[in-house]
Amino acid sequence: MKENKTHITKFDLFESKKSDALAKAMDKAMIKIDDSMSYTDFALAIGKILREDYGKHTFDGFMKVLHKDLGI
C-alpha cells in the first residue's frame, strides 16, 4: 500500500501521514505543558527520546533528515 505524501521542502523530503499526525500531537502536548515552551526544552526532550527510546545508532540518520528538512 502506497502512503500519501506531501512535499514539504525543496530538498525532496516528504511528510508522511504518520509524521504529520505526530507533529500535531506533539504540538498539542507541548501547548498543554507550556504554551510558550522554549526551543531549549523542546530540543532536550527530543534528545531524551532519541537516547532512551531509539538509541545512538539512529542519531546520524535523524540529524541528516532534520538538517535537510530545515535547509541546513
| Each residue's pLDDT tens digit, 29-64 | 999 999 999 999 999 999 999 999 999 999 999 999
Residue 68 pLDDT grade (very low, low, confident, very high; cuts 50, 70, 90): confident
Total-model pTM: 0.71
User: Where does 1-72 have alpha helices with state H?
Assistant: 17-33, 39-49, 59-70
In the chain, the number of structural domains is 1
End-to-end CA distance of the chain: 32
